[in-house]
Structure 1
């Protein structure tokens, strides 16, 4: 699995050799004297290139195309309509021909000079502007003043055309207005081609550095000129090594580095988190998160994003902290940042930003109990980025005025993207079967469907589960552990009693018991069956395995002693198969499951105390817990003797509060 992850990550990573020097404008060059090993051109800065482009585009005139053939269609349409209008107005027939010829002659002269469609984009606040006029593939520069617009053409016609009769002139003017249309039109496509050709022909360099020439000496400050030389040297070096260098060896180097770092993760898990190391699902999740983030980095590099700080690196520690623990979150975050540091510019600066922000992310989310915690964490991360950003800027430039605040925008976007951790956590829980605190909070809501069913069908069991949850949660909170997990486990540990609740004493309302009519073996099997039923019900409702573990282990492999002893007492002559009366196990294997077993037994036994005073409760707790120890039920737990004593004290204190027992202080005087 790890090998596959290494191959996937390295397959997509950039394959060109990496420039060996890190440098920043205004910093001192601490490396040895840098002499150019080859000749290279000094690249212009981005602002210089932008200025050159703007100047070049200013000199490119918009191209307009003259269409002489348009007049032919206009002339024909005008002539036909002129005849119709003249007859329609019953003007003298002998005056038609002179007026028609005069108006057509004038109209032709207008079209020959040209009617332009003025483009406001080209005017730029000016009344007239120069254009490149294309006529029969011959271009010449003219001013828009040298051509008509539709309005100026109409005005010209009105002042030039003479007619003795006002009505006739009015008809002709209306007719001319309908047939005036631009025949000098902006050719946007051709203009764009010329502009692109002009931009492409611009030089992006300004001078040369010859082979053997000193670029910068040790301990010199990197000023603007030297910085541009170094930047040009870096780009030329990377371009040359990309074509000359052996990409297979680069690939091998990446495999060695990524493989070594992931091996460190495996060693860490095998030493400190054996539960994850031995669980393929959890291990797959960790490797998937690493792969996803590094692929996002690779994608960003290939797309040439303006800043790699857009990538939400802090999403890794947030997700790992919520799904696992603080130590693993920090360790995994450091490993991811170390790998990413090989492929980003200004590696130290990048690592500093991400490590500090990642630590803040981890510290700000101890437990994701409320949704606003994620928003607060995002705010803390943004604050950490801001402090680092301002601090590094002041360290570099020594002035607030020199800080380029727009460079902080990628950090803001990154923090916003880190909020995707919330839906991703939900998805990972579902796919990989991992339980977060958010899921546990939802499970411990007593209004959810399954717990409401338990409260309705087995109210005694429900009340017992609530008391067990309170006892176990208080104990695990004191000795250290996942209090949310133990509470969820306690609420569901007896969920199997939904089936046949009347067979369990806490749900019986009369002195008559259905067990009175059953053989002891059958009664024992009914009691034991609630474990199997509980597992079946919770799996049907898709509860996490970490909660189902409490159902499996809350009785361990102990016997149902009441029915076992009753069988021995009433049938001493019969052979007894002890396994019939024994729970299948396994025994508890964590602090949480161990504490639940003790809380369950103590709470159930406390209900049988006829006189619940301090002494009786003390004796009960001691007897129950010592019995579990004697039965080796806690052998696989992480509970220490000190933990056991703490648990006893908490149980005694809480049970005395539940039964309203007051200590008789006079006896101790």
Structure 2
């Protein structure tokens, strides 16, 4: 507990918290709020973005006039002209005319300038202004004032075609265009520097609120303007608290809150789950989950995550529900959200979203039967977030068109991250020796090695275990309890019979009974030993202790009556030590282990019915369960007389179905 409180308070943000809660579109219910000091009104993100766009539009892209490029291009044209003229087949008398026209065209284009437009400045394909640097002198031009590739080619074609002396226009056109390059070159480095300087000059504030000025009056609707004033005041207050506030007192406040929450958790465990309260491993696991989630929240706040809703808060209730129970999961989730609410904006909205999502997470996996329930649970959590997000947005804005749907993206990531609960559950099980419903599901698979051995070596016992599992599961489901735990316990309760399967009547071949050749005491001890042998086999195969409890308690401390009565009948003169014929116990100490004992005894006894009918089955169930009561086998289990009546009814109905008993109806004449 001390470590949990220490780490939580160590990592939580250490600034004083603005005392007022407010939401856009809601009425200010507090007293009139006056500014305690001068503060600047912060611009909204939309306003800042608008200013950025305006500034960027005002910054002209910078181009440089590359005069060397123009000179080199014309020189290269003349060289290539001389080398290709002799193979052109054109009359030599026209050589100077061709060369002169080519030079004139290139000179004209480079004098006016040729520019290659940058796509990001061409809004809707239009021309744009730019700054041209020519020998460190800047002039403002428009791309329409210079040639581009298309307009330059068009100009060259027109001039060549309009000259009557030019006969091979295509030859000259190719030669000129080969040396056509943009001499107005875009300078991205200088342009970006100008844009950066312009962006840095943008003011993030608009106006001031003077000390003593009314910020918001009681009963006033918090509109966009007032909301931004409140946001600015909150930011100024928290920034001022970082400088002027006493961090030690902030730490003390956090220590008190964290200590109170953890103490409430301990009180809850002491009053309602003393089994967990007395187990340091389980308490350590719970505190580790709480600490981990709150440290994750602190980390997100420290790195200024875009939204705290990226954090998968529903992992906590899912893990606690799977490893423990619904009530504890809900209690812990509430406590975690209460602490987190002190350090997130719009804490009531945050608490509503997270508490409702946590409740959906817990309810959706109340009875974990299939792995696909994790995915179904995730979808239900997402649906809850969507409905809550939509409802809050409509309350705040009163319009569908004003809903900022991008703000829902963090919830999607949060739900996806909540699926990490599955591997975390496995890790916690191994680290803390806890058995979850997921593990119980795996253990109830009859293809597991231990159950396959039971089916092969003791097939009668295996079938008996299946029938007991069906009876016990149906009964516990009706009276309330962990049906999956009972089923798993029933499948393994007689696993010790693998050692000597032939000594148990359900595995014996007709006419062969090994008990006939040994004494009654030896027979009783072999029968009794299957409990201890089952415990040893289960531990060897790393079966969880909660299932081993079913092996230890399914006979309680009752006697092996058949061999005990046989001994008394055949040796009336001998002294008998009753402990030789009695199981070591303990008696069942939970509702689940008690139901298994009753199901085991009733199912075994039902096999002795020669002609089962409704009356004989009813008498059998009544007799067996009443005998367990008189033998005080149910004293330690939290089971009521009403539960026992329900169990009797379930057993009778199911046994009649197993033995295909027809219910006789008496018709009135």
Establish whether residue 600 from structure 1 lines up as the match of residue 600 from structure 2: yes
Whether 1:241 and 2:241 are equivalent positions in the alignment is yes
Shift of 1:147: 2.4
Identify which range, 439-448 or 154-163, moves more after superposition.
154-163
Please give the alpha-carbon distance, in whole angstroms, between the structure 2 residues aligned to 1:528 and 1:65.
Answer: 100
Q: Distance in 2 between matches of 1:242 and 1:332?
A: 31
More displaced stretch, 131-140 vs 440-449: 440-449
Partner of 1:271: 271
> What displacement does 1:376 show?
5.6
Of stretches 264-273 and 100-109 in structure 1, the one that deviates more from structure 2 is 100-109
Would the aligned equivalents of 1:433 and 1:545 in 2 still touch at CA under 8 Å? no
2:41 maps to: 42
What does residue 4 of structure 1 align with? Answer: 3
Q: Is the 8 A contact 2:552 2:586 kept in 1?
A: yes
Tell me the secondary structure at the aligned position of residue 30 of structure 1.
coil
Aligned to 1:66: 65
Preserved CA contact (<8 Å) 2:476 2:486: yes
Q: CA deviation at 1:117?
A: 1.2
For the pair 1:355 / 2:360, whether they are aligned, the reply is no
1:56 deviation in Å?
1.1
Q: Mark the runs of 5 or more structure 1 residues left unpaired by the alignment.
A: none
- Are residues 1:336 and 2:319 paired? no
Report the equivalent of 1:285. 285
| Distance in 1, Cα, partners of 2:88 & 2:408 | 75
Give the secondary-structure state (helix, strand or coil) at the position aligned to 1:179.
Answer: coil
Query: Deviation string for 1:235-268 (max 9, x for gaps)?
Result: 1111121233233332332222112101111110
Rounded Cα–Cα distance in structure 1 between residues aligned with 2:567 and 2:111: 122
516 and 43 in structure 1: CA distance in 2 versus 1, 3 angstrom threshold: same
Once the two structures are TM-superposed, the CA of residue 464 in structure 1 deviates from its matched residue by 1.1
SS in 1 for 2:67: coil
Aligned to 2:638: 638
Q: Which moved more, 1:91-100 or 1:409-418?
A: 91-100
Q: Aligned runs of 1:303-382 on 2, under 5 Å?
A: 303-370=303-370, 377=377, 381=381
The residue aligned with 1:55 is: 54
CA shift at 1:579, angstroms? 7.0
Gaps of 5+ in 2: none
1:465 paired residue number: 465
Checking the alignment, whether the CA contact within 8 Å between 1:163 and 1:169 is kept in structure 2 is no
Q: TM-score, normalised by structure 1?
A: 0.85
SS at match of 1:358: helix
- Structure 1 stretch 227-236 or stretch 545-554: which is displaced more? 545-554
Q: Which region of structure 1 is more displaced relative to structure 2, 304-313 or 576-585?
A: 576-585
**Match of 1:207, SS?**
strand
Q: CA RMSD in A?
A: 3.9
Task: Measure the CA separation in 1 of the matches of 2:641 and 2:224.
Answer: 68
Matches of 1:494 and 1:232 in 2, distance apart?
A: 70
Give the number of aligned pairs: 665
Shift in alpha-carbon separation, 1:535–1:166, aligned structure 2, 3 A = farther
- What is aligned with 1:183? 183
Q: Which digits, 9 at most, give the CA deviation of each residue in 1:140-180, with x for residues without a partner?
A: 22122332223443444555579886467654432222222
Q: For the Cα contact (< 8 Å) 2:557–2:583, is it kept in 1?
A: yes
Residues 24-63 of structure 1, C-alpha deviations (whole Å, 9 max, x = no match): 3343333333232221112222222222111111111122
Shift of 1:356: 3.5
Deviation at 1:658, TM superposition (A): 4.5
Relative to structure 1, the CA distance from residue 557 to residue 31 in structure 2 (aligned partners, 3 Å threshold; closer, same or farther) is same
| Deviation at residue 549 of structure 1 after TM alignment | 2.4
Equivalent residue runs for 1:330-479 within 5 Å: 330-370=330-370, 377=377, 381=381, 384-385=384-385, 388-389=388-389, 391-393=391-393, 395-396=395-396, 407-408=407-408, 410-411=410-411, 414-415=414-415, 417-418=417-418, 421=421, 424-425=424-425, 428-429=428-429, 432-446=432-446, 450-479=450-479
Q: Is the CA contact 2:25–2:395 (under 8 Å) kept in the aligned structure 1?
A: no
Does the Cα contact within 8 Å between 1:472 and 1:490 map onto a contact in 2? Answer: yes
8 Å contact from structure 1 (residues 85, 171) kept in 2: no
Structure 2 equivalent of residue 134 of structure 1: 133
Is 1:295 aligned to residue 298 of structure 2?
A: no
- Is 1:510 the equivalent of 2:485? no
- Give the secondary-structure state (helix, strand or coil) at the position aligned to 2:282: helix
Distance in 2, Cα, partners of 1:168 & 1:665: 115
Alignment deviations for residues 73-97 of structure 1 (CA, whole Å, 9 cap, x no partner):
5455444433332344477889767
Task: Tell me the alpha carbon deviations over residues 292-344 of structure 1, each in whole angstroms, 9 at most, x when there is no partner.
Answer: 43334334333434443444434433443344333222212211111111112
**Whole-Å separation in 1 of the counterparts to 2:223 and 2:461:** 78
Taking the aligned partners of 1:71 and 1:31, their CA distance within structure 2 comes to 73
Aligned-residue offset at 1:516: 4.3
Change (3 A) 1:589 1:45: same
Once the two structures are TM-superposed, the CA of residue 8 in structure 1 deviates from its matched residue by 2.7
